[in-house]
Chain A
Amino acid sequence: MSVTEMFSSIQGFLSADQDVREDIRKVVQTLEQTGREILTVLQSVHQPSGFKEIPSKCARARELFCTVRTQLGELKTKFPVEQYYRFHEHWRFVLQRLAFLAAFVVYLETETLVVRVEVAQILGIEVVREKGFHLDVEDYLAGVLIMASELSRLAVNSVTAGDYTRPLRISNFINELDSGFRLLNLKNDPLRKRYDGLKYDVKKIEEVVYDLSIRGLAKDQ
């Protein structure tokens, strides 16, 4: 095989590769759009009026997750399933956001940590790699960490809205999460960097709880 032939065959491979990436990018863009819509719906819980409407907001978000499922279904058709990690970077960010949104909805509904299987169900994807398009454990954990900082914000705003018991519940939840994360041996990677931010969320919520307790507000209800 001559040098020219060799290079043109590789060029063929590379442009095919680029086409696949282009397709993936298009679908990922629509996914990001839906993700932003869900976020907007959920953001309203920070409003004083929003606290009463949590169930209806969650129901609305769950409706939007249907769109996510179809869009993720479309993404699955864009590349061979065994090459998930080859294109992983393209959807890593959006999948983390979606995991966060799913975890946030579940927290608002039940005040528990969503399990990975449930996130995967909400998104309509698999948990283990062997079965197809799946939720990588690191992406799931990153999503949970995003939720932690959202909850620290929620604790502050719930006090403003006059809900003094929520911060205590959030505090318990975050502490449990923190001890969970402390079990992990994280490498010096993006997940570790994000985990390093968790202690500030914990601190923030503890301050809120402190403020409430010294004023005797926490025991009101």
Chain B
Amino acid sequence: MNRREGEGCPRRNADAAQDGDGNSSSPVIAAFKVFQQELDTKHDKHERLVKISRDVTIESKRSIFLLHRVTSVPNADDILKEAEVKLDSVRQKIGQIAEELRGEDIFQFHRAFTPGIQEYVEAVSFLHYIRNRSLISLEEINARLVFMTGEKDLAEAPQTGGQVLTFQVTPSDYLLGVADLTGELMRMCISSVGNGDIDTPFQLSQFLRQIHDGFSYIGNTGPYEVSKKLHTLRQSLGKVEDACYALRVRGSEIPKHMLADVFSSRTTLLDPEEGVV
């Protein structure tokens, strides 16, 4: 018995050692070595994309916070310029994503970077709204995501057919980003009331209603997340409409400097628990 075990063990060890170094004797092991490489390459790329996407998310969120300050300062131009600079750096990062995806199927890695892209759409459309009071189109977003590759790639440029690299935001990412935008617009509406701005809430409610109609038009043909966000959108719209209602009804009675008080109490009543998505 003992001897048997003694015999068994070295054989096992020998097997293990064989597995450890690249033994070409077994075609199965050799094949799996190739799979290992292939999978590792793929996972590494995925991880890198997740990392970049997180950076894009953080920077975009910061630009949104920055843009919220627009309502409370007298001259908004500086803030808008600063936001533009921030978003430029975000675009640089998206350029890195495009670089990683060169020659790949973008949908294979889509899940890795979709949160970042949605956040970017949210930020860039928020800025666009503040500037132009209109909805940025998907084409406009994509038009700004064209990158020139660096000099180091110039040598191989002829093979790839040019140094221009583009990144295409997918329509569903765009939709989800726009859905998030409505939450920001709701916040902007409430805070602008707080600053005694009477016109903005009405503009916003009209704009939000258009977006809401658009989403209702799409309904459930869109991806699953869209119908989830539609619910939040309804709540945001409700809040903005209520704000406009209050302004209309009581705006004429209450002196302007007291409006802020009316709203701060109203909004806390309206949403005790939920934040902006």
Contacts and interface: CB of A to CB of B under 8 A. Distances in A.
Given A10-B174, A83-B105, A138 B32 contact: no
B31 A180 contact: yes
A83 B32 CA distance: 27
Chain A interface SS verdict (over half): helix
Contact of B32 (A14, A129, A183): A183
Contact of B214 (A7, A84, A88): A7
Interface residues of B, number: 37
B131 interface: no
A221 interface: no
Interface residues of A, number: 39
Interface in B176-228: 207, 210-211, 213-215, 217-218, 221-222
A176 B105 contact: no
Interface stretch (B37-45, B66-74, B115-123, B157-165): B37-45
Interface string A1-29: 11110111111011100100000000000
A219 B117 CA distance: 64
A85 B109 CA distance: 9
Interface of A: 1-4, 6-11, 13-15, 18, 82-86, 88, 112-113, 115-116, 129, 137-138, 141, 176-177, 179-187
Given A3-B210, A4-B210, A10-B138, 13 more contacts: A2-B210, A3-B207, A8-B217, A14-B218, A82-B105, A84-B105, A113-B27, A129-B105, A141-B35, A176-B28, A183-B19, A183-B35, A185-B43
26 contacts: A3-B135, A6-B137, A6-B138, A7-B214, A7-B215, A7-B217, A9-B138, A10-B138, A11-B217, A14-B171, A14-B218, A15-B221, A18-B221, A84-B108, A86-B107, A129-B105, A137-B38, A138-B39, A141-B35, A177-B28, A183-B19, A183-B29, A184-B32, A184-B39, A185-B36, A185-B43
